Amino acid sequence: MIRIETETGWTLIEHREHARLAGRMAARWGNDEFAPPEPRADILTAVNRHDDAWAERDAVPFLTRQGRPSAFSRELVGTYSAFEEIDLADYLAVRGRATDAVAAESPYAAIIVSMHTFDLLTSQADLRGMSDSDKVLHRKFLDGQLMRQVELIDTLGGGQDVNEDLAPSQVLRAFEFLQACDSLSLAVCVRFPSEIALRHRHARRDETFAELICTPLGADTYRVDPYPFDADELNLYVPGRNLPGKKFASETALRAAYAAAPVERIPVKIVR
């Protein structure tokens, strides 16, 4: 779950819906300056479905010890030290399922999703304060993800010459593309209050690289510069639910409020 604090309570957005928003952004990437991603279909699958494994958990939201909905929030942007306020073992289980959720449809997409998971738990994670037992669990999980990536690459190789899409530079570019769309969607979904760089530098058609900056303009409108999309203005949306109340007495109360809240389309505008 992703949460935004409002004047009267919380806006809650499911992880899967955040990923779908990232996918809508990914589908519009490409203009005279920036090329669209390749292999397009597999990469769009990865972006659209990289958080499918959260669906079951998000359907029955949990509480923090402070009585707030347990969720990703703007305070966690750039660091996963709190692992989204859930038990580490549960968090790793969800992240592990994320790879397998897309493997049958697209092994290539699953490789990219696994790389994304690995990055979240290494370069983006603050592991200070983690217990020794959790460190062992964390290391075992990462080793398992690396083995899974090798298995998926072998599946695609099929004993023949490796497709050029599996060249390390191409796979890295695909992974970085997912990361960019994911970080832009997260900034939008938490209403990040200041400018923020999208993950990684990205190749222009002239083979130079650019850092893309997202700047909030208010009213759920954001500028991205330099601008990678196919129209000067993108009018998108993300489904969410508005819950009244800052704290909940129990998870039963939270879940009842969540079930009663209608799903609303939150408009999102991206401009040049």
pLDDT tens-digit profile of 61-87?
999 989 999 998 887 776 555 555 678
Q: Determine what percent of the chain is predicted with pLDDT higher than 90.
A: 81
153-162 contacts, C-beta under 8 A, 24 or more apart: 153/111, 155/107, 156/107, 156/108
CB 65 within 8 A of CB 248: no
| Inter-residue contact 9 to 242 (CB < 8 Å) | yes
Report the distance separating Cα 98 and Cα 55, nearest Å.
10
For residue 107, give the nearest of 59, 43, 62, 167 by alpha carbon: 43
- State residue 159's pLDDT score: 46
Span 78-102, average pLDDT: 79
Average pLDDT over residues 151-174: 81
**């580490």: which residue's tokens?**
88
Dihedral pair phi/psi, residue 69, rounded to 5°? -60, 130
pLDDT of the residue at 166: 87
Count other Cβ atoms within 10 Å, centred on residue 67: 15
pLDDT digits (tens, 9 = 90+) for 101-156: 999 999 999 999 999 999 999 988 877 778 899 899 999 999 999 999 999 998 88
Q: pLDDT at position 242, please? A: 97
Q: Give the start-end residues of each E strand in the chain.
A: 2-5, 9-13, 196-203, 209-218, 221-225, 233-244, 264-271
Asked if residue 161 has pLDDT above 80, the reply is no
Q: What is the mean pLDDT of the chain?
A: 92
Q: What is the mean pLDDT of residues 13-38?
A: 98
Q: Binning pLDDT at 50, 70 and 90, where does residue 245 land?
A: very high
For residues 171 and 109, what is the distance between their CA atoms, to the nearest angstrom? 10
Torsion, Cα 91 193 129 12, to 10 degrees, reads: -30
| Phi, then psi, of 22 in degrees rounded to 5 | -55, -40
- Identify which of 95, 11, 24 has the alpha carbon closest to the alpha carbon of residue 54: 95
148 vs 25: CA distance, rounded Å: 28
pLDDT of 3 > 60? The answer is yes
Q: What residues have CB less than 8 Å from 147, skipping those under 6 apart?
A: none
Q: Which domain holds residue 170?
A: 2-271
For residues 143 and 180, give the distance between their C-alpha atoms in angstroms, rounded to a whole number: 25
Using alpha carbons, select from 110, 99, 102, 229 the residue that is nearest to residue 174.
110
pLDDT value, residue 87: 81
Number of structural domains in the chain: 1
**Which among 4, 38, 32, 5 is positioned nearest to 170, based on CA atoms?**
38
Least confident of 11-15, 98-102, 163-167, 243-247: 163-167
